[in-house]
Chain A
């Protein structure tokens, strides 16, 4: 089952490359939250109540419900529907994301560290790389926020691949990072929009001397 969920997670990444509708970004992030919960639930050997509650909060409540709800509000407030501002055509985006995905798995399998759960590690690597790629190819701050969340999901997968003895520590840290990132950056996105009447990064280039 773990492999199925990882493939599903990979499909969401490919779909990110295909999409131009902002609402689809939000649904895809929500889907990633659900997949992450399924992945954690499948990989739990001994279920402890506190651990389960933390994971539930982090994945279902925060990643699948709270953040998408907040992003949806942002989207509606800023009248964002479709973004035609990727540097590359959609077709090339898909090819590059698939290439990143394959390369991550080849690398993960070749490294084959005992300390890391290889499928999770490979998916994490792919997610972080795709998040960075997503930020690079888009020119507006909402897409940048989405890219940041893809990176954060990658970090979450990496924490799963470590299978560490410090799940509470790590979960709380990831939770803090995501909440801080989304809430604060979301609020700022509103401010950017109010001030510049635009959320394109081109309007954010007045500081250069």
Chain B
């Protein structure tokens, strides 16, 4: 068969040009795909990232992905078509490669019916003599073009830029959202006579916060004052709807407090302890212990552990403080063996021990020493309902959980074992997120949600890696 094809080539050497055109066409297609793929993949990644971070809805993400794919196909087509070599160009390539002085060009482009047969036959014979000088695979082998490298570099830079700019954009939007959220909550509360006073306070707070003339200290004081009012009212309220509203207001105020620097002391503590969760988790009954030297880090670890234990037990992380407390106590009894404090555990007061603290928190769970929990209980407003911990879509909680309102997390056994093994290590883990090891949810289901224990929600992207 190969001989036949070789004989065929010698008889009609111009067919070599057709083969080369096909080969070059494939190469050009690859070039186009390689050139367009990196930006396309980055675009799809960004759409996916925004979707999983609840920045955009599934429809928008799908549309963006579809548009990106469509644009990619269009770009490949537009890039590919002008680069497809013509027969004349391919012939010239062969002529240059073999030194055939345009013999291939003449044979490949001339109409044999309109040319003297004798001369055509003679030209074919002459041209066949040049076939030995060329081998398509050798002489026209595929090489990745510089355009691919350039495209890849630009795409990676764009991706990095995206990840760098996203937090800045997010903080700006969150700040704006907080004011807006206060007003919305105030409007809702105004419909309920018992919350009318709180609604007015929130309205006036929102107005003062937007007023640039009001001093920062005054704003902070107002926030704290309003927050106290909300918390007090929250304690008094028995109706779940009102409690939820108040909880949301408390959460928003907490955010504002942190943003405006009102929670400076807390931030200092967090900095010492690695930025623990400044959550408004309803932690009633959890904070009776002595203050933990772990500070914020302990607190963070504590909450991670709390969820972990719940998950290990197949429970939903819920927001009822009493239930949580009870669960934690039971965990303390049941799982306490495996969560005993590690004697080798590094001093949590030392800077740079945050990850260790996190690990400790994760592994010690709810049954760990009282210290961490006690610290957390100092920072978390007592009596804050579960709704305090809810974030709006697009908001990013301090644990990096975005837009997750109800999260059911099941932590695999392996991860628990792994976290045990990591206990006490990782000195340089300051600032590392607890979520990278143990999924931490700041959105436990409120106790009053009837199907809370059975409800399952999508796991945030950053925790998916640990689910097996």
A and B: real partners? no
